[in-house]
Structure 1
């Protein structure tokens, strides 16, 4: 029985989060060092780190699903009937390809914006996205 108590206490102790102290000091050449052990005979500071920030991904996933569903609904509303002569026309097929191309370009630009950028690059990407979005709306949605 005592070994069960000892084993359960050991399990609880192992489950606790590990904490380590971090020390910072500057050497004679001006280099800054960080370590989990304090330097011998050297003036040092103990570093305290803030707790990590966590962002719940479930809300982001729900938002992406809502956007995907909205796009699918709009596509269904704008899609002509399969028996319609207009749907079979070459002109309409070309327009669909053009609109799909716009959508892909917009998605690619949005991905580039999410990936990070310099100020100038970001401004040009936003301008490009704005012009392409206007063209997409004018030629694919409003028409």
Structure 2
């Protein structure tokens, strides 16, 4: 039933749109105007309307559904297909995390040693060197362990 109503509507509206006449004119401020009523007192031009182009969408919708189905199949096969590769990459990430944790623990130990040396007393030159080392190690710890 809705298809019949749409078909009747299309047959009634499309011919009236194509039969409608459109006029244009430009006013004193340079603004272009368009109307379907012929202006009697203004200089105007008749606008030729082309027939509307009708594009069948059924084929596009069908192709879109096919592409979506293929994408879903590919994603499913990638997720479940190669468990060995996924396991090896997880092992590699675990090793990288262990290395990072060991490196961060090393930075923390080095900072503790520097702090102990600074508290124990020092000469001016040695104090400056220790503060520079503390700053460098602290920056590495922040960049690699806290931010990264």
Specify which structure has the higher proportion of helix.
2
TM over 0.5: no
